[in-house]
Amino acid sequence: MMQEAEALLEAARAAGALEAEVFVKIGRGRKVVLEPAVRSGSPPIETVSDSEEEGMALRVIDRAGRRGFAWVGLPAPERAGDSLLGAAFASARHDRGGAPGVVRPPLGPGPRNGPGRSGVRIADPECMALSAERIAALLLETAAGADGRAVAIDRLALSEAMTTVALANSRGFRGSYSKSLAFLSVALIPAEPGAAAVVEERSACRLADLDPRDCLREALQRTKPARRSVEETTAGRAAPLLLTARASASFLAAITPCALSGEASLWKGSTLRIVDDQTMDGRPGSAPFDGAGYDTRRTVLVGDGSAVGRLSADGGNFIRPSYRDLPVVGVAGLLILPADSHSGMDAGSPAPSDDTLMLQVSAIEVVPGPVCSVRIRRGDWWSGGKALGPADGLGWEGPLAVLLRGASPAGTEVKFYHCGAPLGAPSLRIDGLTPLRVEAPGRSAVSV
């Protein structure tokens, strides 16, 4: 790949480019899907599909300082390099400087001393090693754990991919890496009144890091019909919420716009530390260098009760999903940092063993806004180390700042989930949400 990139860079400079960059991506993938059969008693329908993505992109800056971009799929026809050059320079002639407020992706740095963050482990040699039949068997084993009375499995899917990326520019940057990705999806539909349809997803760099049974268990927590709450036995008593790691991921997904906004007043008094990190081992968004060639980094967004930073060209990572895309600043790996290892509870632990009343929450819905709403979809009251009964359906409304100020890490371990994007969180404790009331009929909330 690098040889073709070098040749294209040389041709771009010879054609009059002040600067140029070549980005190459080659990937292959496989997806195994199981769906229920139309006829009762028949085996599920199994679908196996393969995919490939191969292409090269060229960015140029011409002698007038205008920027051009073009791409071509691989393997390319003969003289495709000439066509790519022509398309990139034609694109530059239409450059009007970019829209106001839009970050124009720069060309990356010059020669590096090493291959970026070479210690980031994101490639699994076992990726796509299992046969499609074995993957289907794993999915069938997972399906056997579903509660057929309340819900039914609509779809089980597992995707794997192996990708190689190479980037070179006229400033002397040369870099490449390989990366694997595994993605698991469980879709459940109601089989009795009161149950809900949900999709639970996981993503990782290694298939071994995905737990289909745990994924199904979390999905069942969110889809089963609500139980009758025993709030009348706890009325008037202040009770902190202890969110399991999965519920904390839903919380993070809901407040992500707040973390990215840079609005300082929202976080006054908060103890949460939220970062975007593209340097962690085994995470789908991690890489040794970003989509523009800069070393990947951790950007602190929220900490010490204030908005510390924002994702930008100076404080973030450039994301590039495909060779067809320009690099853009975006979220690479958002997470809430855990509590100090010498304080707080283990992730997902139940309430304390003393007489403190606490509400352990395994599924939650949060709708942020000027008036924020919180609904407990699955929760249990605890006191004295014993479960007192369910708290499903309890809700709270109030200022968003109260919710953010009351949230603090309770666990010392971060667990990762896929809630529209890969997110990581420890268990969280939320104080100050009083009073908790039974949700009014007809209200709705967003489930993540």
Let me know whether 155 and 258 are in one domain.
no
Mean pLDDT of the chain: 86
In a shared domain, residues 58 and 127: yes
- Both 166 and 81 in one domain: the answer is yes
pLDDT of residue 79: 67
- Find out whether 138 and 186 touch, Cβ atoms under 8 Å: no
Q: Are 171 and 243 in contact (CB under 8 A)?
A: no
Q: Are 85 and 12 in contact (CB under 8 A)?
A: yes
Q: What is the pLDDT of residue 445?
A: 38
- In the prediction, which pLDDT does 442 show? 38
Q: Are residues 219 and 237 in the same domain?
A: no
Q: What percent of the chain has pLDDT over 70?
A: 87
Residue 283, domain member (yes or no)? no
31 plus 177 within the same structural domain: yes
Output the pLDDT for position 422: 92
pLDDT computed for residue 30 by the predictor: 97
242 shares a domain with 174: no
Tell me whether residue 288 is in a domain.
no
Q: Mean per-residue pLDDT for 30-44?
A: 83
> What mean pLDDT comes out for the span 345-367?
71
Q: What is the mean pLDDT of residues 183-194?
A: 89
In a domain, 245, yes or no: yes
- Cβ–Cβ contacts within 10 Å for residue 11, how many? 16
Residues 394 and 426 in one domain: yes
How would residue 264 be classed by pLDDT, with cut points 50, 70 and 90? Answer: confident
> Is a pLDDT exceeding 90 seen at residue 367?
yes
264 φ/ψ angles, rounded to the nearest 5 degrees: -70, -35
Give the pLDDT band of residue 118 (cuts 50, 70, 90).
low
235 and 124 assigned to the same domain: no
Task: Confirm whether 316 is domain-assigned.
Answer: no
Pick the last residue of a domain from 185, 205, 223.
Answer: 223
The range of the structural domain enclosing residue 389 comes to 231-273+337-438
Task: Tell whether 91 and 204 lie within a shared domain.
Answer: yes
Q: What is the reported pLDDT for 59?
A: 96
CA distance to 95, 102, 103, 378, per residue, from 99 (Å): 10, 6, 9, 45
Q: Is residue 307 included in any domain, yes or no?
A: no
- Span 373-403, pLDDT tens digits: 999 999 999 988 888 899 998 999 999 999 9
pLDDT in tens, 273-326: 999 999 999 999 999 999 999 999 999 999 988 888 888 877 789 999 999 999
For the stretch 326-355, pLDDT in tens is: 999 999 999 999 987 433 334 444 445 566
Q: Which residue did the predictor score with more confidence, 111 or 86?
A: 86
- Domain count within the chain: 2
pLDDT band per the 50, 70, 90 thresholds, residue 133:
very high
Within a domain: residue 295? no
The answer to whether residue 443 sits within a structural domain is no
Residue pair 361/379 in contact (Cβ under 8 Å)? The answer is yes
Say if 296 falls within a structural domain: no
Element housing 142 (H / E): helix 132-143
Q: Shortest CA distance to 203 belongs to which of 218, 182, 185?
A: 182
Q: Does residue 179 sit in the same domain as residue 248?
A: no
**Between 109 and 148, the higher pLDDT residue:** 109
Give residue 447's pLDDT band: very low, low, confident or very high (50, 70, 90).
Answer: very low
20 and 134 in a single domain? The answer is: yes
Tens of pLDDT, residues 196-243? 899 999 999 999 999 999 999 899 888 888 888 775 555 556 689 999
The pLDDT of residue 236 is 54
Tokens, residue 412: 């010392």
Residues 218 and 243 occupy one common structural domain: no
| Distance, CA of 233 to CA of 177 (rounded, Å) | 58
Which range has highest mean pLDDT (5-9, 123-127, 328-332, 424-428)? 424-428
Q: Per the structure block, which two tokens stand in for 383?
A: 């006191």
Q: Give the pLDDT band (50/70/90) at residue 106.
A: confident
As given in the structure block, the two tokens for residue 134 are 């074995």
CATH number of the CATH domain containing 42: 3.30.2290.10
Q: Which segment of 107-121, 246-260, 338-352 scores lowest on mean pLDDT?
A: 338-352
What is the per-residue pLDDT for 350?
Answer: 46
Integer Rg of the chain from CA: 25
pLDDT at 263: 85
Residue 157 has pLDDT above 60, yes or no: yes
* Res. 365 pLDDT band, cuts 50 70 90: very high
Q: What confidence score (pLDDT) does residue 164 get?
A: 96
414: left (phi > 0), else alpha (psi -120 to 50), else beta? beta
